[in-house]
Amino acid sequence: MAERWTVLKILQWTADYFSGKEIDSARLEAELLLAATLGLDRVGLYVNFERPLNNDELTAFRERVKRRAQREPVQYILGETEFWSLMFNVNPAVLVPRADTEVLVEESLARIEGSARVLDVGTGSGAIAIALAHEKPEIQVTALDCSEPALEVARDNARRNGVAERVTCLVGDLASLPPGPFAMVVSNPPYIPSGDWQKLMPEVRDHEPRLALDGGDDGLEAYRQLVMQAGQVLIPGGWLLVEVGINQATDVSALFKAAGLIEIGQRNDYSGVARVVMGRTKR
């Protein structure tokens, strides 16, 4: 007689299996994968603990578990993730949006005035651009990325979140920003030093796009290119806001100062890490 796998039993087995693979949040991820397989939410799992899975459901779930055990991010397996209380499609063409980046959105929103034009450099999935457009219905956002596959994801996400008419996705390189002028440039650029690549978690190192992560020898190359162009693409008094990596805020602030930006500040994320550097051009 075939073994009977109920929702509770397979959740317990999968959580233990993921823990043995040193996967963080093993129980949560098991629940997310099983909920998606069964077309339920997590509450639905809890009220169906004794429900047995049929063979098709078991096969589909085992395939997802196998992918996660190979350290593929759960967000790629599910094909979507939440950011700023909005849902975003994700695939290996784009970074998985992180909660840390919501601090960058918060600081940007606090500085947007009226019907501003905003440039999001390295938009990836479009998370920052779309969150800003969703919160500020009077603004226009240009979402720039050098990857056309990433921009396809961003366009889909703009449509999914009802802001496609105000978010323009544009192929372009960090070294040559569109002329603007913009009231704000915001960016979560590549900032991992090249020498640190092999030290990254396998979910990042082996699955997320290196182009969106590798910041050159010292991790600061993207910031140098951004600050050099800030005065050319921003209006007088316009803001440049960037996300930074751990222990980079001081160096990035120095680049802002050297470029002539004023009112330079920093903002910690909710773990206490200096995560955002901001400054503006002179009026």
For residue 259, the model assigns a pLDDT of 95
Q: Using CA atoms, how far apart are residues 104 and 242, in angstroms rounded to an integer?
A: 7
Q: Is 40 left (phi over 0), alpha (psi -120 to 50) or beta?
A: beta
Q: Using CA atoms, how far apart are residues 163 and 211, in angstroms rounded to an integer?
A: 26
Share of the chain above pLDDT 90, in %: 84
Confidence of residue 77 (pLDDT cuts 50, 70, 90): very high
Sequence-ordered list of residues with C-beta below 8 angstroms from that of 180, at least 6 positions apart, any chain: 117, 119, 232, 233, 234, 235
Superfamily of chain region 91-280: Vaccinia Virus protein VP39 (3.40.50.150)
Whether the pLDDT of residue 180 is over 90: the answer is no
Average pLDDT score, the chain: 94
The structural domains of the chain, with segments of one domain joined by +, span 7-70, 91-280
Share of the chain above pLDDT 70, in %: 99
pLDDT tens for residues 78-107? Answer: 999 999 999 999 999 999 999 999 999 999
Which pairs from 106-110 meet CB under 8 Å and 24+ separation?
106/267, 107/241, 107/267, 107/276, 107/278, 108/132, 108/184, 108/186, 108/239, 108/241, 109/135, 109/136
pLDDT tens for residues 107-165? Answer: 999 999 999 999 999 999 999 999 999 999 999 999 999 999 999 999 999 999 999 99
pLDDT tens for residues 114-125? Answer: 999 999 999 999
Whether the pLDDT of residue 3 is over 80: the answer is no
Q: In angstroms, how far is CA 251 from the centroid of its own chain?
A: 23
Whether the pLDDT of residue 191 is over 90: the answer is no
Whether the pLDDT of residue 1 is over 60: the answer is no
For residue 204, the model assigns a pLDDT of 87
What average pLDDT does this structure show over 212-228? Answer: 90
Confidence of residue 222 (pLDDT cuts 50, 70, 90): very high
Whether the pLDDT of residue 182 is over 80: the answer is yes
For residue 208, the model assigns a pLDDT of 86
